[in-house]
Structure 1
Amino acid sequence: MSFIRISPHRRSTRKRLFEVSSPREESSTEFNYDDLKNAITDAENDLNVMRKKLKPTKKPGGRCNSFEAVKQHFVDTVHGHINSLNKGLGVKYQEVIKLEDDANQEKELHRREQSKLERKVKDLQSDLQKSDKTLQEKESEIESCKEKLQLESKARENELKKQQSELDARFSEQLQDKERIIEGQKLTITRLEEQIKTKDNDITSLKQGQEKSNAFQEKLQRKEKEILNMKNTNESEKQMIVEHYKEMIQNKEKEIHSLQQVNHQFKQYVEQKEEEMKRIQVDFQRKENTIQQLLKQREEEKAAKEDERKQKDEALTRLSAIAGDRLRNNNPGITDLSDPNRPMKIAEKFTEMYDNDWTDSMEALEDLGLNEEECVIMLLHFLTDSYEECGRLVSELDRHIEQAVTLTHCEQDGDKSDESSSSSQNIPPEILKPIKDIRRKMTVNNMEILQKKLLAHLKNVRTDVKDDHISACSKFVADCIKYAWMMQIQDPPVYIEWDFPSDAKIDTNILRSYTKAGDHVDFIVWPVLYLHKDGPVLNKGVVQPKSANK
């Protein structure tokens, strides 16, 4: 079946009945004609509503929504119409199947019509998307043109400001630069006008190609108005810029004229000042020469005074040294406190040697089989023999030094001592004292040689001394040699006394007892130490008294 009429049908209110004979049944079927007519009328009206809703719209999305609504409405109402037709016609099952086939055919027709409409909608959508895309491209081109115009306008403003600052600094050169800039601006404006004309042509072609889109035409008209406004604005700006530069050029010409006058006056002023400067320079050079001469004289006088002061200081230093040497020469009361080997320090070390090294050496000799008295006498001989030999070596050294100083030589030994005493009396103290100081300072460098020489002397002097004895108390022997030499090189020499005969009365002022008590000497253990011969006692000696029953 098909429905051709578009105008709505009127429903019937009558109740007419008809009889229809069934092809497969012998009896006839009675149905209501008016109900059937009303059902068909409702279906035609619904179909017309659906066709109206499916008319093309401007928006593709609207068409899809309208079609879906119609489709849903058709699905909702078709079953109702079928039921009303069945009721009105009073058909049976076989007729319902036939009607369903007819309805399916009608549905297929509607589906085909729907697919055609959907393809049409898609075509319209693609056309509209292309139009929108083209419109967006044109809008972006217009926006880019607008941005370029703004950037160029800002660039022109910055350039104008820069040129204006340069005009204030350069005068005539700036005027030529401004003229070139104006020409460049004119060329730029001409290019912009050409670009605007090109854009106008593009817009005209776009207008011709997009006449079907009303929305695009409205947007295009707005863009044309904006471009016209921009063009008018550029024209007005161009005119203002030209007028501004003309006025600026006139002002700069006036400034140049006034500056030329000022420059002429300034040149005259500078020439006057240069002449004055030349005169001042001549005067300054003359005064500078005078100052240099005065400074040179002052430096010469200062150098002469400095030489005189140095000579006086050297003379005072020599006089002080001579006076000090004379005071310290052979005067034990005046000692050099900075000397670590002065007599008081030697006395302290001498005591430490007796307390420590002497005790250790006693034990070592006793281990070799010697008795106490033999050990004491051997250790005392180590000290006294070293002291006497060091005294002899110091005297010989002094004699050689004095001979070198006095440039005299003697062949016989007896004459040497006489000559030494006489020559030492003739040598001035300021010469003799430094020689003795040098002799004392040479002790550290020559101590190793001195140790070897004294060890050989000790072995030769004492036949009862063996190598084992010296090895057992090697540290004590080395200290005896060292301190004996330090005593002998003092000025005057430090003196030790060990000659106390047996049975002599013990003087407690200079001696103290060893291990026994008594008033008379049995044997000497440790010598007495004096600052010098017949001088004050530095350390008491040690003796072993005789027991009362001896």
Structure 2
Amino acid sequence: MWLAKHMKDATQEKLLKYFECICILLRTFCILFVNHCSQENRCMHWFFFSSIILCKFVCICKKRDSRAGTNNSLTSKLERSTVQLCNDLQEEKQEKGEHSVGNLIDKQNVSKSMLPIGRTDNRLVENISEKCRPSNIAQLYNTLECQEWVDAKETLEDITDFREEDILRFICACVLASYQCCMEIYDAKIAELLRKPTLAISNTLVGRQTAGNKLLENMADSIGYQLRQNCHDINSDVIVGMMSEKMTFEFKAFIQRHLVQKFMNQCTKVTWQMVIQHPPMWLSVEDQEFDDEKHKLWWSCDNTAACRIDFFVWPTLYDYKNGNLLIKGCVYTS
């Protein structure tokens, strides 16, 4: 009403000045609303409000021009300016929308980068804030060989009449069986438990054939991380029972010895920490030819004639399969 009253008798110059002031104000407020308004409906309300004012202004000018029969150029200018204002507002909204989408994509990329990823080289990029990490596990594995392995071997030599070669084969088989059982628990049985959670209540998971199950890659490190925080809580007696079932008949007589049981329990604690790394550490007894860079000879073997590996006394440890060598394997050659 105020606008109509003041423009009824205004001259063309005054109309132009009024129009320029209104356009400047409307553009300023529209830009501010688009940039700072967090609610889309408030922007739309302001857009409709500004459009109504401009349309009213154009109608007033048209009526005035029709009475006077002149000033057609002024009306066309007003119409073009109204269209321009609408276009400017639309461009501002579009730029704001693209900026918001860009921020969303950036946030998604950041969140993806924070997810655990598979490490291609555990030894060189391991997280030093974790106690359960490959370099520490390699030290535990070396201690297992230097202490518990020696105690178990001497016990079997003192109280049995088994050959040295059989004792060495048995102790190496214990380590491998422990590693295989831990890997089966971590990969297949945890995957089965995630698929059928009620198995945890029924206590029927141990002994089930779960070889077909496997943890998804995007879950493996997240689960492994949680297990690494509580790596010492594993029930080693259960794994020892699984190991005993895997042993061949010729080794059954070794298992009941007290120090052998102690060695087997210690094996489970070390190999469990190996398999919950991501990717898992790797124990290997696959080599058939002696390699001084990867193997050390059993003391009674001839170094000059060492060529073909008869059996492993102690498995070779890598930070992951086909990865970096951490601990040399001990081999018996002929």
TM-score, structure 1 length as denominator?
0.35
Match for residue 158 of structure 2 among 335, 351, 367? 367
How far does the alpha carbon of each residue in 1:185-232 deviate from its partner, in whole angstroms, 9 at most, with x for none? xxxxxxxxxxxxxxxxxxxxxxxxxxxxxxxxxxxxxxxxxxxxxxxx
Q: Deviation at 1:319?
A: 6.8
Whether 1:386 aligns to 2:178 is yes
Please tell me whether the aligned partners of residues 117 and 221 of structure 2 are also in contact (alpha carbons under 8 angstroms): no
In structure 2, the partner of 1:248 is: none
Distance in 2 between residues matched to 1:507 and 1:481, nearest whole Å: 28
Q: Deviation at 1:345?
A: 0.7
C-alpha spacing 1:329/1:524, structure 2 compared with 1 (3 Å): closer
Letter in 2 for 1:439: L
In structure 2, the partner of 1:530 is: 318
Distance in 2 between residues matched to 1:336 and 1:524, nearest whole Å: 31
Q: Deviation at 1:340?
A: 1.3
Please tell me whether the aligned partners of residues 380 and 525 of structure 1 are also in contact (alpha carbons under 8 angstroms): yes
Farther off after superposition, 325-334 or 509-518? 325-334
Q: Higher RCO, 1 or 2 (CA under 8 Å, sep at least 6)?
A: 2
Letter in 2 for 1:512: K
Whether 1:543 aligns to 2:328 is no
Whether 1:459 aligns to 2:250 is no
In structure 2, the partner of 1:279 is: none
Whether 1:508 aligns to 2:292 is yes
Whether 1:494 aligns to 2:281 is yes
- Describe the SS at the equivalent of 1:491: coil
Q: Deviation at 1:327?
A: 4.2
Letter in 2 for 1:472: L
Q: Deviation at 1:351?
A: 0.9
Please tell me whether the aligned partners of residues 325 and 433 of structure 1 are also in contact (alpha carbons under 8 angstroms): no
In structure 2, the partner of 1:443 is: 231
Please tell me whether the aligned partners of residues 328 and 335 of structure 1 are also in contact (alpha carbons under 8 angstroms): no
In structure 1, the partner of 2:264 is: 477
C-alpha spacing 1:321/1:397, structure 2 compared with 1 (3 Å): farther
In structure 1, the partner of 2:115 is: 325
In structure 2, the partner of 1:336 is: 127
Q: Deviation at 1:361?
A: 1.3
In structure 1, the partner of 2:149 is: 358
Runs of 4+ in 1 over 6 A off after TM superposition: 315-319, 412-415
Distance in 2 between residues matched to 1:415 and 1:508, nearest whole Å: 36
C-alpha spacing 1:485/1:342, structure 2 compared with 1 (3 Å): same
Structure having the higher Rg = 1
In structure 2, the partner of 1:59 is: none
Q: Deviation at 1:432?
A: 5.3
Please tell me whether the aligned partners of residues 386 and 480 of structure 1 are also in contact (alpha carbons under 8 angstroms): yes
- Describe the SS at the equivalent of 1:506: coil
Letter in 2 for 1:493: P
Distance in 2 between residues matched to 1:438 and 1:494, nearest whole Å: 17
In structure 2, the partner of 1:348 is: 139
In structure 1, the partner of 2:43 is: none
RMSD: 3.2
In structure 2, the partner of 1:208 is: none
Distance in 2 between residues matched to 1:522 and 1:475, nearest whole Å: 27
Please tell me whether the aligned partners of residues 346 and 486 of structure 1 are also in contact (alpha carbons under 8 angstroms): yes
Structure 1 residues not aligned, in runs of 5+: 1-314, 406-411
Letter in 2 for 1:334: V
Letter in 2 for 1:391: M
Distance in 2 between residues matched to 1:355 and 1:318, nearest whole Å: 49
Q: Deviation at 1:401?
A: 6.2
C-alpha spacing 1:522/1:337, structure 2 compared with 1 (3 Å): same
How far does the alpha carbon of each residue in 1:291-348 deviate from its partner, in whole angstroms, 9 at most, with x for none? xxxxxxxxxxxxxxxxxxxxxxxx9999766414344566635321011120111111
C-alpha spacing 1:394/1:538, structure 2 compared with 1 (3 Å): same
Of all paired residues, the percent bearing the same amino acid is 20
How far does the alpha carbon of each residue in 1:152-181 deviate from its partner, in whole angstroms, 9 at most, with x for none? xxxxxxxxxxxxxxxxxxxxxxxxxxxxxx
Distance in 2 between residues matched to 1:531 and 1:414, nearest whole Å: 26
Q: Deviation at 1:456?
A: 1.7
Q: Deviation at 1:415?
A: 9.7
Please tell me whether the aligned partners of residues 523 and 545 of structure 1 are also in contact (alpha carbons under 8 angstroms): yes
Q: Deviation at 1:507?
A: 1.1
- Describe the SS at the equivalent of 1:436: helix
Please tell me whether the aligned partners of residues 361 and 472 of structure 1 are also in contact (alpha carbons under 8 angstroms): yes
Q: Deviation at 1:536?
A: 1.0
Please tell me whether the aligned partners of residues 312 and 332 of structure 2 are also in contact (alpha carbons under 8 angstroms): yes
Distance in 2 between residues matched to 1:382 and 1:363, nearest whole Å: 16
Letter in 1 for 2:155: A
The structure that is helix-richer by fraction is: 1
Distance in 1 between residues matched to 2:156 and 2:263, nearest whole Å: 12
- Describe the SS at the equivalent of 2:113: helix
Q: Number of residues paired by the alignment? A: 212
Distance in 2 between residues matched to 1:537 and 1:415, nearest whole Å: 28
What is the correspondence of 1:116-135 to structure 2 with a 5 Å cutoff?
none
Please tell me whether the aligned partners of residues 459 and 465 of structure 1 are also in contact (alpha carbons under 8 angstroms): yes
What is the correspondence of 1:234-313 to structure 2 with a 5 Å cutoff?
none
Letter in 2 for 1:457: M
Q: Deviation at 1:443?
A: 2.8
Q: Deviation at 1:350?
A: 0.6
Letter in 2 for 1:365: L
TM-score, structure 2 length as denominator?
0.56
Please tell me whether the aligned partners of residues 310 and 332 of structure 2 are also in contact (alpha carbons under 8 angstroms): yes
